[in-house]
Amino acid sequence: MIERLRLDHAAAVLAFERENRAYFAASVPDRGNDFFTDFQQRFRGLLTEQEAGVCHFHVVVGHTGEVVGRVNLVDVADGSAELGFRVAEKAAGQGLATAAVGQVCAMAAREYGLRSLRASAATDNAGSRAVLSRVGFVLTGEEVLLADRPGHRYLRPLTDLMP
């Protein structure tokens, strides 16, 4: 189940990030020690950004209430935003990321009024590239560096999801 980030998610999000830190670092840039040291302050900052409308943060909540994924829309401007996502190691390979990203794409169009989303994925991150492709993102041809790893930019027009 996708839920918009709230203050009462803080402990579950911190547990999710700690439990999966090494797993995430194998495919995306590590958040660094400061992320964990200053977590409460950073978390409140995320909520402030969300209240201002410049970001939309979401958690994927499992059957027992634990956070098993995150899907975020950041840098909201001019009808567009940057999408980022991560799923717990124990939930990987089960279609959860595809379902969650697809649901957030629909929310972006219908609830947040966005017309397109951008995303990036490292060339060697086959899982993320597959998720983006499955939910309608297309390669832009732009190459990027993600923590010194080559990657590609993707775009997802949302016109087909608009009411």
Q: What is the pLDDT of residues 9-23, one digit of tens each?
A: 999 999 999 999 999
| Number of separate domains in the chain | 1
**The pTM is what?**
0.94
3-state secondary structure of 60: strand
The two structure tokens encoding residue 51: 């209240």
CA distance linking residue 87 with residue 105, whole number of Å: 16
Surface-to-core class of residue 22, CB atoms within 10 Å of its CB (0-12 exposed, 13-18 middle, 19+ buried): exposed
Structural domain harbouring 94: 2-161
- Taking phi over 0 as left and psi of -120 to 50 as alpha, with beta for the rest, 62 belongs to beta
What tens digit of pLDDT does each residue of 98-146 get?
Answer: 999 999 999 999 999 999 999 999 999 999 999 999 999 999 999 999 8
Q: Which residues, including other chains, have CB under 8 Å from residue 40's CB and lie 6 or more apart? A: 10
Please report, for the domain that includes residue 141, its CATH number: 3.40.630.30
